[in-house]
Amino acid sequence: MFEEQVIAWLEECGVGPQEPGSAYVRSAYCMQSPPVTDAAGQHYPQGRIIIGHTTEAEGANPEEQEPEQQSATVKLDISWLADANIREALALLPADTPTGFRVALPSPRAARLLLERALLEGNPDAVVFKGTANATSVSALLEEVAFSEESLRIDSIVEATKELLQQELGLKPGDFIELPALFIEGKPAMPNPVNCLVCNRRVLMPSPNGPIIDGIDIIEAAIRHKVGLPESTLTFIDTRCASADAPRMMGLFGVTVVQHGVAIEENAE
């Protein structure tokens, strides 16, 4: 079972699951809060809240969660997402950098480049999403999704997001990672690696189920290279059992790391 796999991984990280029981846990599901020093040199050790500006955080007002050492909420445009959930648009991954993290963003451009390379290397019919109802080929995915108007628009939004976070959080261009992702009408057309789970410097991501070329999933290999974590700390999980269409890491379960545990709640879908 997908839920059992996730719980087992969390227990390996030394974190126990617990049922969500507060408005804070539910609202935190749609927030990120990295500890940063902004461009003006102001340090926020408790973190700066990042939230999607179309998300209505149930039971929590970000303005009320801003102690003296925190700043005004940073709002990202996630209007392009059908779920309006910031977890699909941004992830904070552990890294050996001055900030201690890098920002992962979904990138149709990164997906497009990988698929184009597979095509140029003579693999137009390599199967993507094998074993699912959405199984297709490299050439079909390129033609139908990767070059769509929506994909190009998301690329522009990702660039705007990077500019905003550099301005607000004092980040540098090297603090961002663009991970391959495609969307159709705001929903993931492939497992979105940005919608991942981070716990104790270990990362759990959905297996991309990409084209296998010379025995290697080229999308998974590209993600590993971009993230730059040791293999033992980056785990891919097969989410094909989690959703019949466009499987995602949290296709069935919303997972939120809280201070003393993890809340796992069923999605409304």
The string of pLDDT tens digits covering residues 116-148 is 999 999 999 999 988 888 889 999 999 999 999
Q: What is the mean pLDDT of residues 234-254?
A: 57
Taking the C-alpha atoms of residue 215 and residue 53, their distance in angstroms, rounded to an integer, is 42
The better pLDDT of the pair 260, 168 is held by 168
In the prediction, which pLDDT does 184 show?
A: 94
Taking the C-alpha atoms of residue 123 and residue 116, their distance in angstroms, rounded to an integer, is 10
In the prediction, which pLDDT does 169 show?
A: 82
3-state helix, strand, coil in the chain (%, to 5): 30, 25, 45
Q: What is the mean pLDDT of the chain?
A: 75
Segment holding 137, helix H or strand E: strand 136-137
Taking the C-alpha atoms of residue 37 and residue 205, their distance in angstroms, rounded to an integer, is 28
- Three-state DSSP class for residue 183: strand
Identity of the highest mean pLDDT range in 138-147, 222-231, 233-242: 138-147
In the prediction, which pLDDT does 44 show?
A: 66
Q: What is the mean pLDDT of residues 33-37?
A: 66
What residue ranges define each of the domains in the chain, with the CATH number in brackets?
Answer: 2-107+153-263 (3.75.10.10)
The better pLDDT of the pair 57, 30 is held by 30
Q: What is the reported pTM?
A: 0.74
